[in-house]
């Protein structure tokens, strides 16, 4: 076989070589491009097809060759029957464009060519589908050419061809009828009346038989009303109108057919919308809706007919008047839609609600009539199930309502809350609810469900910023929710508008709780709401991102507090649900006085201090309605802190040249202390309040305030010191509120007492279990307890001693009872001690959880400060505290809360601090401090054990260098002068910083276990090219001077990245750059000497070295640098002296990529040798399977030997033999198994015997020994 292949290859090589084809004039290239247009037209990608059509038309315009035009026409006509849909549509579009541009092409001849090319009569059964598509897409191209109206006869033939294609519905479905409708819509009245009317007579007469024919009639009536007059309709349909009671059954059947046809497409058939428009023109809309839609379509089981009715309802909204909208939205179709909404909540059910929302949203966007908008929104809001509307409270459709409609809708919601008229709602019940009469709710429950929906809907209107509304509407809604959440009406008064609407049904407790919760949620949204209005003042406030205020600058919460104060003073008309105690009322009045005093001061000189205190007082005061006791304590602490701050300010003013300002706490420090104390509260509102207030005072935060925040996060301090602190009356003292802990301790003690009472019954066993648990935990046995136990036993003479000599003496009953009492008391006391230890551990664990949760909240303040004041110089003082948090978190326990705390701190440090968009750029006078910090960070990064923690310290050092460098302009970065280093590095002491980084790099290269990584220094080289130049020589030296192969490979990666940097090259002169390349070549040559890829590290180092070598050689050759590469080439050649680098792999591929640059190609492996080896192996294996001569069949026919095929026959014979030998070999194995079993039979083949033997053995194993013996 090999010889034959070699002779054939020789004949091919010796054969005559064809002459090279020349294309001097470029004709072949032009023809190739021209033909490629047709290939691209058939591509699946739509963009490629359209581009190819455009290029083809442009080519034909420019060439003006008739033969190319005729070829294009012929090629496009043939492609209309392509087997792929994309290709057919592409050829059809191209043909339409061709006919539209080149009017010299006759439409008549084109249509005749289409009929001839795709003849339906002569087409075979296999290709009839392609012929049908060819005719259809040809007519479609003619209709899209916009020339059919000019040739009525061709138009008539096209319509007739489409009529004949309608019978091939299994292929085209309703495409011919739709195309006829499109042609009809673009036809003039004269052509229709003279040409098409007679041709379409049969279709128009049978319009009530199919959706396509009915749609054709409706389009004709809409397009040509003067032609299809009532008399003409009388002849066609038998009635003067389409929508009549006589035609209604047929129309219903047509609509059902249309609904089933679009079952998979989920779309509204055009015939349904045309019928609805016809009913509006003929003023029979109500009859059509009741008879055709509800009585006809909705009588079917839920399915396509129902969905068509729902789609028709949504599509009809823009076409109806206000009375018609009210009629439709209060009818039975809407009731069926509500049933579908509830039944579709189950999984794996089709949900129509999103589609209906799109219909309503499109209507609201396009409608400019507020009455229509209000009618639609009310219609959907009044669709209720047991009093609860089916549309969600948060409805995006409301975003498109006009302000006047929003105001009317809010008034309706308020009235519906106070006086719900459920009888006016469109109430429905599901089939399950109708069958279960016990689940029917009473009227009060339905009212409560309706109110439960109304309050979130009112809050949604206020909270959604996309809904256009006025300030009066917002404050009225907030007052309404606040009033009904915390007050009741005694007597109506016009001074309080909320009292004028009396409640027809009292508010139950659950509804009251929901309303109060909704108010605080609304209050949170008001605090973050932008200023409403379009005036210049509003735009100015929004440009400053002022949140939570009205257009006049007054806070929303202040208006609500004033409203609450007014309600508390109107005891004659309203009554608070929770009456304030005298102390709480005094705290409320004190809060109002403090707020008014702060407002007066803010008018004289507006400061953030006044705004922060005012915001805190208002938020704590409004919370008094929800948690009066908690708010009372907070209010007292807040007032005390403010008075103390004001007193110190007055002392500072009165003292002349007295105390320094450093001894007095700044007002921001006081506010921060208050916020830290508030963060210990579990309330979400309080947490949001603290974030909002801290966000306001961030620009004024001082170093002392920031230190108080960072001290909480300091892991080196005791947990008690880092907990929540509140300033006490005594200076310098701080206390931690431990009410929760004391309550928990009391509960634990009560529980312990109960446990002790139960344990008295079986103290011995329980103590033994406790001792066992203690021993399992590794705790030492209490020696005091052992001594006490010995004393009790010795005192009762129950302990055997050496003097007794015998243990046979027993105690009497009285002594035993006394001993049992003493032991019970002792063990009970010991159990109390063990339980006390457990309680202490549990208390410490809970404290730790509370402290950790508090620190997570404090991290929110750190994150907010970094996001708002990232360019402040105070940020520099947060670097090391955050690193301490990360370092301690890495070595602490692995609980989920600890992991969350650590990940949050690491994320803030990495994303908000090191990678922040804004950073400190004003370091005047702090250069020495920052350089010392930089040295501490680098030294710490080298001493750590964990590489992941070292990465954070190294990143912090790079951040400090970035701060010292400042902003670098592009002009400075591209200069090559000696002053560029100063311009690029700003206030960085380059020598000092370089020395630190050089020591770190040397440590990484010479230490066996270093926490530093090569990626850290690569990042350094990328960000600071000046430092890269300084450290480049050290990196080059470590290509061979690294301690291990890993460090040497990392040095190659660093040098590789440095050589790729344009900034590094700009900072070095050409002579130094060339000298650097020569030095790298020498280092690489040394590293390649006597190297063997014996392990993974060496392999990795070799790959990185070869990658560097490849880039270096390529750059030297391309830039023609004066670098000697001979030594490197010789070393690389010697590496493959034994041919060890000829396999496939990353190392080998990189090596030959380098050698290719030197002109040495990878030698090809001869495949003939592999074939010989396989033949030898095959022969050796085949010899083992030869049968003896006595076993071979002697009457086997031998094939005749032909000339030239000796080798072939000789190779075929062993293969056949080997197959038989394999079979006989397997038979021999079966015989061996059979002889081992002791059974010898020659009547049956061994294989069959083995098969029949298996089930018997299994059966005998399952049965007993007796059954097996009986079988024998």
Hey, is 384 helix, strand or coil? strand
Q: What is the CA radius of gyration of the chain?
A: 47
pLDDT of residue 997: 94
Distances in whole angstroms, Cα of residue 168 to Cα of each of 138, 203, 205: 16, 16, 21
CA dist 400 and 958 (Å) reads 51
CA dist 118 and 6 (Å) reads 52
CA dist 1271 and 106 (Å) reads 96
Q: Is 1017 exposed, middle or buried (0-12, 13-18, 19+ CB in 10 A)?
A: buried
pLDDT of residue 968: 58
CA dist 332 and 427 (Å) reads 10
Q: Buried b vs exposed e over 134-156: b needs ≥16 C-beta within 10 Å? A: bbbbbbbbbbbbebbeebbebbb
Distance from chain centroid for Cα 641 = 45
pLDDT of residue 1140: 67
What stretches in the chain show pLDDT beneath 50?
A: 1-28, 656-662, 719-721, 723-780, 802-808, 969-980, 982, 1169-1175, 1177-1179, 1182, 1198-1272
The CA-based diameter of the chain, rounded to the nearest angstrom, is: 141
Hey, is 726 helix, strand or coil? strand
Q: Pull the structure tokens for residue 404.
A: 């006047």
In this structure, what DSSP letter does residue 399 have? G
Backbone φ, ψ for residue 316 (5° rounding): -85, -15
Q: Buried b vs exposed e over 195-217: b needs ≥16 C-beta within 10 Å? A: bbbeebeebbeebbebbbbbbbb
Residue 1142 CB contacts under 8 Å (≥ 6 apart), including other chains: 1136, 1148, 1162, 1163, 1165
CA dist 590 and 570 (Å) reads 19
1139: left (phi over 0), alpha (psi -120 to 50) or beta: left
Nearest to 527 by CA among 492, 467, 478, 568: 478
pLDDT of residue 158: 85
Pairing type for strands 487-489 and 726-727 reads unpaired
Cα four-point dihedral sign 978, 980, 985, 988: positive
- Which neighbouring-strand residues pair with 1115? none
Residues constituting the chain: 1272
CA dist 554 and 565 (Å) reads 17
CA dist 480 and 497 (Å) reads 9
Nearest to 276 by CA among 264, 291, 266: 291
In this structure, what DSSP letter does residue 297 have? I
Nearest to 939 by CA among 952, 927, 953: 953
Pairing type for strands 383-385 and 426-427 reads parallel
Hey, is 958 helix, strand or coil? helix
In this structure, what DSSP letter does residue 132 have? H
Residue 313 CB contacts under 8 Å (≥ 6 apart), including other chains: 328, 333, 334, 337, 356, 359
Hey, is 1244 helix, strand or coil? coil
Cα four-point dihedral sign 631, 636, 642, 645: negative
Nearest to 339 by CA among 383, 299, 375, 378: 383
pLDDT of residue 770: 46
Residue 439 CB contacts under 8 Å (≥ 6 apart), including other chains: 433
Hey, is 488 helix, strand or coil? strand
CA dist 765 and 824 (Å) reads 11
Distances in whole angstroms, Cα of residue 669 to Cα of each of 583, 639, 641, 701, 1183: 29, 15, 11, 8, 96
Nearest to 137 by CA among 106, 176, 187: 176
User: What confidence tens digit (pLDDT) does each residue in 1161-1197 have?
Assistant: 877 766 554 444 444 544 455 455 555 666 666 555 5
CB atoms within 10 A of CB 1122: 11
H or E stretch including 489? strand 487-489
CA dist 831 and 837 (Å) reads 10
pLDDT of residue 361: 93
In this structure, what DSSP letter does residue 208 have? G
CA dist 901 and 859 (Å) reads 9
């Amino acid at each position: 076989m090999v010889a034959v292949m070699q002779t054939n290859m020789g004949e091919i090589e010796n054969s005559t070589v064809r002459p090279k084809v020349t294309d001097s004039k470029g004709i072949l290239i032009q023809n190739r491009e021209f033909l490629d247009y047709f290939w691209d037209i058939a591509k699946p990608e739509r963009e490629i097809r359209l581009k190819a059509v455009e290029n083809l038309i442009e080519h034909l315009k420019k060439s003006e060759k008739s033969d190319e035009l005729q070829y294009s026409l012929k090629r496009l006509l043939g492609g209309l029957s392509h087997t792929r849909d994309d290709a057919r549509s592409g050829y059809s579009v191209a043909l339409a464009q061709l006919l539209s541009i080149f009017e010299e092409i006759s439409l008549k001849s084109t249509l005749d060519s289409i009929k001839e090319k795709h003849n339906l009569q002569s087409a075979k059964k296999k290709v009839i589908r392609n012929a049908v598509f060819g005719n259809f897409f040809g007519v479609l191209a003619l209709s899209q050419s916009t020339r059919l109206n000019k040739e009525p006869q061709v138009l008539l033939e096209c319509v007739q061809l489409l009529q004949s294609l309608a019978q091939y519905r299994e292929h085209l479905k309703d495409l011919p009828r739709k195309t006829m409708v499109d042609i009809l819509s673009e036809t003039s009245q004269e052509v229709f009346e003279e040409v098409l009317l007679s041709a379409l007579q049969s279709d128009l007469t049978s319009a009530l038989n199919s959706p396509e024919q009915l749609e054709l009639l409706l389009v004709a009536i809409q397009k040509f009303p003067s032609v299809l007059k009532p008399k003409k309709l009388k002849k066609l349909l038998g009635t003067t109108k389409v929508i009549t009671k006589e035609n209604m059954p047929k129309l219903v059947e047509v609509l059902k057919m249309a609904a089933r046809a679009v079952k998979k497409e989920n779309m509204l058939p055009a015939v349904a919308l045309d019928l609805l428009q016809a009913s509006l023109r003929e003023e029979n809309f109500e009859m059509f809706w009741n008879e055709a839609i509800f009585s006809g379509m909705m009588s079917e089981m839920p399915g396509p007919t129902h969905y068509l009715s729902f789609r028709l309802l949504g599509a009809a909204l823009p076409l109806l008047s206000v009375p018609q909208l009210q009629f439709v939205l209060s009818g039975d179709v809407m009731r069926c839609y509500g049933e579908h909404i509830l039944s579709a909540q189950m999984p794996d059910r089709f949900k129509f609600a999103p589609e209906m929302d799109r219909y309503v949203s499109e209507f609201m966007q396009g409608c400019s009539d507020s009455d229509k908008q209000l009618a639609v929104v009310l219609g959907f809001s009044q669709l209720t199930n047991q009093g609860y509307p089916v549309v969600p409270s948060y409805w995006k459709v409301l975003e498109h309502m006009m302000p006047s409609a929003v105001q009317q809708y809010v008034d309706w919601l308020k009235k519906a809350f106070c006086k719900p008229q459920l009888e006016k709602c469109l109430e429905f019940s599901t089939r399950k609810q109708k069958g279960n009469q016990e689940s029917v709710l009473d009227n009060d429950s339905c009212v409560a469900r309706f109110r439960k929906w109304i309050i979130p809907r009112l809050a949604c209107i206020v909270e959604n910023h996309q809904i256009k509304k006025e300030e009066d509407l917002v404050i009225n809604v907030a007052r309404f929710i606040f009033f009904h959440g915390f007050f009741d009406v005694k007597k109506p008064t016009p001074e309080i508008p909320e009292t004028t609407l009396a409640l027809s049904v009292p508010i139950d407790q659950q509804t009251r709780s929901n309303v109060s919760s909704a108010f605080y949620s609304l209050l949170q949204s008001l605090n973050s709401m932008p200023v409403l209005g379009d005036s210049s003042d509003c735009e100015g406030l929004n440009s400053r991102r002022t949140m939570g205020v009205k257009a006049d600058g007054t806070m929303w919460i202040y208006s609500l507090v004033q409203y609450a104060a007014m309600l508390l003073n109107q005891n004659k008309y309203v009554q608070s649900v929770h009456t304030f105690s005298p102390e709480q009322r005094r705290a409320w009045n004190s809060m109002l006085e403090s707020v008014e005093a702060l407002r007066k001061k803010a008018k004289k000189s507006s400061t953030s201090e006044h705004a922060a205190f005012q915001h805190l007082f208002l938020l704590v005061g409004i919370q008094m309605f929800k948690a009066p006791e908690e708010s009372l304590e907070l209010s007292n602490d807040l007032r005390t802190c403010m008075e103390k701050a004001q007193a110190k300010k007055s002392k500072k003013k009165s003292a002349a040249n007295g105390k320094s300002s450093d001894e007095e706490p700044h007002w921001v420090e006081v506010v921060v202390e208050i916020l830290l104390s508030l963060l210990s509260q579990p309330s979400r509102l309080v947490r949001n309040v603290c974030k909002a207030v801290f966000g306001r005072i961030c620009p004024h935060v001082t170093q002392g305030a920031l230190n108080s925040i960072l001290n909480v996060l300091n892991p080196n301090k005791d947990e008690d010191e880092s907990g929540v602190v509140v300033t006490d009356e005594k200076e310098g003292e701080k206390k931690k509120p431990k009410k929760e802990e004391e309550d928990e301790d009391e509960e634990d003690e009560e529980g312990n007492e109960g446990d002790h009472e139960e344990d008295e019954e079986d103290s011995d066993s329980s103590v033994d279990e406790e001792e066992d648990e203690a021993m399992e935990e590794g705790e030492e046995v209490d020696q005091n307890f052992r001594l006490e136990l010995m004393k009790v036993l010795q005192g009762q003479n129950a302990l055997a001693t050496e003097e007794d000599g015998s243990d046979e003496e027993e105690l009497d009953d009285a002594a035993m009872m006394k001993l049992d009492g003493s032991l019970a008391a002792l063990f009970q006391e010991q159990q109390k001690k063990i339980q006390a230890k457990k309680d202490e551990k549990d208390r410490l664990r809970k404290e730790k959880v509370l402290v950790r949760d508090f620190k997570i909240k404090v991290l929110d303040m750190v994150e907010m400060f970094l996001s708002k004041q990232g360019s402040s110089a105070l940020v520099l003082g947060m670097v090391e505290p955050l690193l301490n948090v990360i370092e301690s978190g890495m070595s602490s326990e692995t609980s989920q809360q600890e992991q969350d705390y650590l990940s949050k701190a690491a994320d803030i440090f990495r994303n908000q601090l090191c990678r922040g968009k804004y950073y400190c750029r004003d370091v005047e006078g702090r250069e020495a401090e920052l350089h010392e910090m930089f040295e501490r960070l680098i030294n710490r990064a080298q001493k750590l054990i964990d590489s992941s923690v070292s990465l954070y310290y190294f990143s912090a050092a790079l951040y400090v260098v970035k701060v010292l460098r400042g902003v670098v302009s592009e002009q400075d970065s591209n200069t090559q002068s000696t002053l560029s280093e100063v311009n690029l590095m700003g206030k960085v002491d380059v020598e000092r910083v370089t020395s630190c980084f050089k020591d770190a790099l040397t440590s990484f290269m010479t230490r066996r276990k270093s926490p530093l990584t090569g990626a850290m220094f690569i990042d350094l080289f990328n960000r600071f090219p000046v430092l890269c130049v300084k450290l480049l020589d050290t990196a080059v030296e470590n290509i061979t001077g690294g301690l291990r192969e890993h460090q040497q490979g990392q040095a190659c990666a660093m040098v590789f990245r440095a050589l790729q940097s344009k900034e590094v090259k700009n900072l070095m002169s050409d002579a130094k750059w060339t000298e650097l390349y020569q030095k790298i070549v020498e280092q690489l040559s040394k590293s390649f000497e006597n190297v063997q890829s014996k392990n993974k590290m060496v392999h990795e180092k070799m790959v990185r070295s070869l990658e560097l070598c490849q880039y270096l050689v390529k750059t030297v050759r391309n830039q023609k640098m004066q670098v000697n590469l001979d030594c490197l080439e010789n070393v690389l050649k010697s590496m493959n002296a034994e041919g060890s680098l000829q396999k496939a792999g990353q190392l080998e591929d990189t090596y030959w990529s380098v050698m290719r640059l030197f002109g040495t190609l990878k030698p090809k492996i001869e495949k003939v040798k592999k074939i010989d080896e396989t033949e030898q192996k095959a022969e050796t294996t085949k010899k083992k399977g030869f049968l003896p001569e006595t076993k071979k069949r002697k009457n086997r026919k031998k094939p005749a030997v032909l000339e030239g095929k000796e080798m072939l026959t000789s190779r075929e014979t062993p293969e056949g033999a080997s197959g038989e030998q394999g079979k006989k070999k397997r038979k021999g194995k079966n015989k061996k198994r059979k002889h081992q079993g002791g059974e010898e039979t020659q009547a049956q083949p061994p294989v069959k015997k083995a098969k029949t033997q298996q089930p018997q053995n299994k059966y005998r194993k399952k049965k007993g020994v007796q059954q097996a013996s009986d079988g024998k």
